[in-house]
Amino acid sequence: MSATQSAVLFGRERHRSRQFIGFAAAMFVLTAVFLGGMMTGTLPFIWPLVYLPVLIGVVAALVNAYLNSGLVVSTLNTVVIAGAMVLTHGIRAVLSPSWPVTGWSWYLWVATALLGVGIGAFILGAGMRRLVGHFG
C-alpha cells in the first residue's frame, strides 16, 4: 500500500477527503481576504475576530477526524491559516514598503503551533469516533 492510500494519513473515503481538502482551500482564500481586509482597513480590526479562522479550522479538523480520519487532511485545515497569513502580510509588505515586516521565525512559529493544534484536533476527533464506536 502506498502512502497516498493510507487511511491514517489521508482518510478512509477519498470523496470525503476531497471535500475537506476543498474546504481547506476555501478557508485559505477566505482567511486571506478576511485578514487582508482587516489590514487595509476595509474591515474593522477587532482582535478576537482574528481567532475566528482558527476556530473554524479546528472544528473542520475535528469533524474530518471523526468522520474520515486522515491526519494530513485534518492538519491541512489548520495550517492553511498560517499560509494565508504569510500571503496577506507578504502582499501588504510589497504594496506598502512602510508596512513593518515580521521576521520569518514568527510565521514559522505560528505554522508550527497550528500544526500542533491540527494534530491535537485529529487525536480528539479520531479518539471520539473510537469511543462512540466502542460504547455505542
pTM of the model: 0.86
CA distance 125 to 75: 12
Q: Compute the mean pLDDT over every residue in the chain, rounded to the nearest whole number.
A: 89
Lookup: cell for 66 = 471523526
pLDDT the model gives residue 94: 84
pLDDT band at 104 (very low <50, low <70, confident <90, very high): confident
Mean pLDDT over 28-35 rounds to 95
Dihedral of the alpha carbons of 105, 109, 115, 120, in degrees to the nearest 10: 170
CA dihedral of residues 21, 42, 115, 133 (deg, nearest 10):
-50
> Is pLDDT of 1 > 70?
no
Q: Which amino acid is at 69?
A: S
